[in-house]
């Protein structure tokens, strides 16, 4: 009998029993934290999983199967030219409008395909931190200075943190360089433009399906796109159907049947579902289920089935850790989304008190707390607007903008599973330290 293993099991049994035995059910703060946890979990499930995570898993699976290892190594590999790899990583991030969790399947995919640590981490940070939409919203709501500072800081962070990670773990990167020098990549199965069309179609579906609501006073392009985002998403869905038939050579009858089922579900959900926020979820689920079944039973090309299995592999790896992280973040830090604000065990008033002024401690506390909180795409701006109204300093606000969207507790748990504990701690520490210093400088200047 393995004594160490049995003692570990006994320890966790005691921990769970003690937590149940001493649960402070009479404490108002504890019960409020439970409400916040359940509220955050429900909101995450309703607003984030179907429209964000599921498409992201398919994009990650597509990278893993259809994007050749040679292409990943060429642009992100350990031997790639630094100016090229870090530029591609930063630009890739600015195109996406994703949160710290949605970026994870994409990061995991390129890292496992051979991307160097530095470029992969630059992509991991830049995805949630510097999307074009987030910068525009920051300028409009928080002011030009804050928006420009966020843009410059986030771009610089993605490159500097990537370079520092590559330098700190240079021995491992040197070994990866030597290994990739000897890799003989097979020829591309299809022209690069076809893979690019398929990839960017999936990305644009993800972007427009999650296009954030504009400010109430905005009647310009942003408002026009938001008002018509499902029609735009539908156009790219039709392009995806073409891609599935012409590029992946799936049966046209199966693809058209799936498209018809999706259109019918969209009509029925718009007719019978009263809560408007749930209307898009039904056709998205039908579309994903149809695509999954078509890929699962495709006999023409084994790669098509591998696409589904790779996507499922990322889901199995990432979803449980995200679930644990969301529950923990909700209990500790509460649930803040839309007009909802429910405090966790750590009171919001404590946070607001701690981030007033522009001391180094206030900036550190802001970046440290923000690193563990979960911000959905674009929600960090109205949250920080509320904190500024409550007395938050401009420096801590920028620190939160630079650390919060790119990190979260769920995000850290998944990164640890991919990079290991040591690299994850170093990455998180670099983000928090740089956000603290940047916020302190910005607060003194403005």
User: What pLDDT does residue 93 have?
Assistant: 64
99: CB partners within 8 A, 6+ apart: 48, 52, 128, 374, 375, 376, 377, 405, 408
User: What pLDDT does residue 398 have?
Assistant: 92
367: CB partners within 8 A, 6+ apart: 396, 399, 400, 402, 403, 404, 431, 432, 435, 436, 439
Query: Does the pTM exceed 0.85?
Result: no
222-252 tens-digit pLDDT:
788 888 999 999 999 999 999 999 999 999 9
401-425 tens-digit pLDDT:
999 888 888 889 889 988 999 999 9
195-222 tens-digit pLDDT:
889 988 998 898 888 887 776 667 778 7
Structure tokens at 187: 């020829």
- Mean pLDDT lowest among 5-14, 187-196, 311-320, 383-392: 383-392
Residue range 373-390: average pLDDT? Answer: 71
Angle between helices 421-445 and 117-129 (to 10 degrees): 50
User: What pLDDT does residue 1 have?
Assistant: 63
Question: What share of the chain in percent tops pLDDT 90?
Answer: 27
User: What pLDDT does residue 309 have?
Assistant: 92
Residue range 142-168: average pLDDT? Answer: 89
User: What pLDDT does residue 433 have?
Assistant: 95
- For residues 54 and 62, give the distance between their C-alpha atoms in angstroms, rounded to a whole number: 13
- For residues 374 and 257, give the distance between their C-alpha atoms in angstroms, rounded to a whole number: 38
- Beta strands 335-337 and 340-342, pairing class: antiparallel
Residue 437, pLDDT above cutoff 70: yes
Residue 183, pLDDT above cutoff 60: no
């Amino acid at each position: 009998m393995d004594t160490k293993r049995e003692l570990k099991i006994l320890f966790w049994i005691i921990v769970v029993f003690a937590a149940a035995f001493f649960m402070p059910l009479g404490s108002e703060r504890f019960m409020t934290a439970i409400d916040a946890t359940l509220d955050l979990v429900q909101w995450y499930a309703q607003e984030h999983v179907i429209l964000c995570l599921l498409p992201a898993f398919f994009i990650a699976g597509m990278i893993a199967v259809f994007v050749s290892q040679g292409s990943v190594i060429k642009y992100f590999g350990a031997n790639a030219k630094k100016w090229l790899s870090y530029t591609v990583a930063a630009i890739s991030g600015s195109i996406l409008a994703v949160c710290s969790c949605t970026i994870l399947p994409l990061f995991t995919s390129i890292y496992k395909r051979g991307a160097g640590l530095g470029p992969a981490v630059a992509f991991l940070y830049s995805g949630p931190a510097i999307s074009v939409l987030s910068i525009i919203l920051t300028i409009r709501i928080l002011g030009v200075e804050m928006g420009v500072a966020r843009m410059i800081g986030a771009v610089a962070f993605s490159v500097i943190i990537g370079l520092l990670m590559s330098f700190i773990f240079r021995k491992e990167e040197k070994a990866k360089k030597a290994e990739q020098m000897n890799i003989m990549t097979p020829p591309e199965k299809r022209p690069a433009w076809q893979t690019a069309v398929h990839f960017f179609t999936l990305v644009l579906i993800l972007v427009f399906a999650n296009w954030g609501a504009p400010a109430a006073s905005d009647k310009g392009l942003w408002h026009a796109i938001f008002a018509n985002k499902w029609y735009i998403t539908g156009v790219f869905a039709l392009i995806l159907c073409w891609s599935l038939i012409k590029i992946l050579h799936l049966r046209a009858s199966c693809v058209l049947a799936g498209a018809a089922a999706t259109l019918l579900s969209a009509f029925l959900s718009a007719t019978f579902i009263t809560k408007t926020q749930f209307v898009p979820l039904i056709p998205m689920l039908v579309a994903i289920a149809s695509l999954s079944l078509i890929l699962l039973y495709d006999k023409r090309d084994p790669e098509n089935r591998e696409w589904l299995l790779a996507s499922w592999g990322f889901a199995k790896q990432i979803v449980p850790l995200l679930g644990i992280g969301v529950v923990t973040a909700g209990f500790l830090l509460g649930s803040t989304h839309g007009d909802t604000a429910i405090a966790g065990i750590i009171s919001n008033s404590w946070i607001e008190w701690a981030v007033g002024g522009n001391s180094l401690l206030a900036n550190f506390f802001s970046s440290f707390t923000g690193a563990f909180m979960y911000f959905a795409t674009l929600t960090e701006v109205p949250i920080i607007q509320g904190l500024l109204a409550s007395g938050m300093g401009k420096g801590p606000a920028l620190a939160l903008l630079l650390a919060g969207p790119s990190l979260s507790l769920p995000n850290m748990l998944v990164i640890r599973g991919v990079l290991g504990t040591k690299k994850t701690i170093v990455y998180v520490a670099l983000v928090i330290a740089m956000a603290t210093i940047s916020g302190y400088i910005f607060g003194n200047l403005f």
